[in-house]
Each structure stands twice: as C-alpha cells, then as structure tokens.
Homo-oligomer: A and B are copies of this chain.
Amino acid sequence: MYSSAEENYIKAIFTISEKTGKGASTTAIAQRLETKASSVTDMVKKLNEKALADHRPYHGVSLTDQGRQIATAIIRKHRLWETFLVNHLNYRWDEVHDLAEQLEHIHSPDLIDRLDRFMGHPKFDPHGDPIPDRDGKMVDVAGAQPLSEVPKGVLVHIVGVRDSSPAFLKLLDGLGLKLGTQLTVDRKFEYDNSLEVSSRMRNGLLLNESVCEKLTVKIL
C-alpha cells in the first residue's frame, strides 16, 4: 500500500516521462507537484529504495516495471472516476479533475473494477484520454495529432484535449468545441501560428497556437 504522496510522485514521473520521452528531472517533478526540488530528492530516494524508480542524476528519474504498473493503475482510477462523475453525476468535464485526484487514492481491492463494470467498461474518459484496463493496457489512439499540425482544408474531429484545467475546458465550451466536434482548418497565420477554423456551428473561429497544440484531432 502506498501513501497518497508516493502515488502522486509516481504519477508525476510517469506523466512527465510520457510527455518528454525521457526521464523526469527532479526540477520538473517539483514544478508539476508544486513542491521543492529538495523534497523531490527525498521522495525519489524512497521510491528508489522500494524499487519503484531509478534515478540517474542530471538525466532524470524513470519508473521500474513495478512503478509503471502502479502509475497506470492510478491513471485508470483517475479516468474511471472522471467518467463516473460526468456520465452519472452530471458534472461538467471542467469540474472533475481535482475531485478525481482525491478519488484516485482510495484503496480497495476491487472498487474500481466494479465501477468499470457498472459503467460498461468505457474506453475513454470525458477528455478523450484512453482508460487503461486492469492490466494497464489502453487502446492506442492511432492517427491522432494536434490540430496545429493539420493541413488546410482537411476535415477532422476532436478526439482529445491535452489540458484538463478548468480554464482551458471552459474556453472550449465557450467556443462551442467538444469531443467529436468536426472542424476544418481554413487559414493559417504564420505571424503567431494561429489558425482560423470552421465547424458546423461556427465559421471563422480564430484559435491561438497554444490552443491548437492542446487539441488532439483525427482525420475523418
């Protein structure tokens, strides 16, 4: 059984490694968990002793197989809880992240499997992220790419968001964008890499670079 603190570090290392393809630096971990690098040093030492992580100083922390297994289990819990909150308790997709961060630390041999069964084994969470199965495997979303890389004139639909912060999700709500929304890139502005897109609901929607990078789409 691991503490919430340990679990949060494991998840952070996993997520940073996923994103960068390299080990997670102590500084990066500290930043993500809003803590200090010295605290990270201590915890990484502890995870190392428990054979959950390896640390090559100045080259990053990586998870062992066991660490990775714990990480995917936590992510599975997080995403299933988010799905439950949105699909059954009528939460909006921008409200569930923090609550799921609490719920993901509930320890139970089978609660999450029952929740999974109750919901009919959903494959994606409300933000389009794949939900790992009991063995940590998740469907791979082949062909998905950031909107920022889509050429002009191609019809795509939104399959995921790379940022689950309330602010970002509310912005999307305000623009009428959600999972499944079909889009075409009409114009690209080199000046700031912003895009003008059109959907069924709206034309001439101007999206800045950072928004486009965080929207994952698939060609239809």
Contact = CB atoms under 8 A, between A and B. Distances in A.
A165 B67 CA distance: 34
Contact of A106 (B90, B102, B111): B102
A26 to B, nearest CB: 28
Interface in A116-168: 118
A120 B85 CA distance: 16
A220 interface: no
A107 B111 CA distance: 19
A114 B91 contact: yes
Contacts of A99: 106, 108, 111
Interface string A92-111: 00000001001100111001
A91 B111 CA distance: 9
Contact of A89 (B89, B91, B114): B114
A45 to B, nearest CB: 26
A88 interface: yes
Contacts of A115: 89
B91 A102 contact: no
A96 to B, nearest CB: 10
Contacts of A106: 99, 102-103, 106
Interface of A: 85, 88-91, 99, 102-103, 106-108, 111, 114-115, 118
Given A88-B118, A89-B118, A99-B106, 12 more contacts: A85-B111, A89-B111, A89-B114, A89-B115, A90-B114, A91-B114, A99-B108, A99-B111, A102-B107, A102-B108, A103-B106, A106-B106
Closest 6 CB pairs of A and B: A89-B114, A102-B106, A99-B108, A89-B118, A99-B111, A88-B118
